[in-house]
Amino acid sequence: MNKSTGKWIIIGLVILLIILHHDVWNWDNKKPVFGFMPMALLWQAGISIGAGATWFLATKIAWPEFEDDDQEVAVTEVDAEQEGGEL
C-alpha cells in the first residue's frame, strides 16, 4: 500500500468516526448494558477506542517520512575534527 492510498483510508476512517459519533438512535435506550452502563456511554467508549486505533493507523500508514539533517551535521563535524580543521 502506498502513502497516497493510506492517506485516503485514514480520511475515510475519520469521516466514518465523525458520522458514527452523532448517534441519535441510542439516546432513547434506557436499558443498561452489562447491568450498569447506559448504551450511549458504551457507544462513546467504542468511538474513543476507534479514534485511538485510527490515530495509530495514521502514524503507521500515512505519516510522512522526514530526512534527518542533524545526522549530516554530525558527520561533517567528525570529519573536520579528524582532519584537524575548524568548522
- Residue 15 corresponds to which cell in the numbers above? 469521516
Q: For 33, list phi and psi in degrees, rounded to 5.
A: -95, 140
Query: What is the value of pTM for the model shown?
Result: 0.65
Q: What is the pLDDT of residues 64-79, one digit of tens each?
A: 777 776 555 555 666 6
Q: What's the rounded mean pLDDT across residues 21-31?
A: 82
**Residue found under cell 480520511:** 11
d(CA 64, CA 45): 29
Q: How many CB atoms lie within 10 A of CB 10?
A: 19
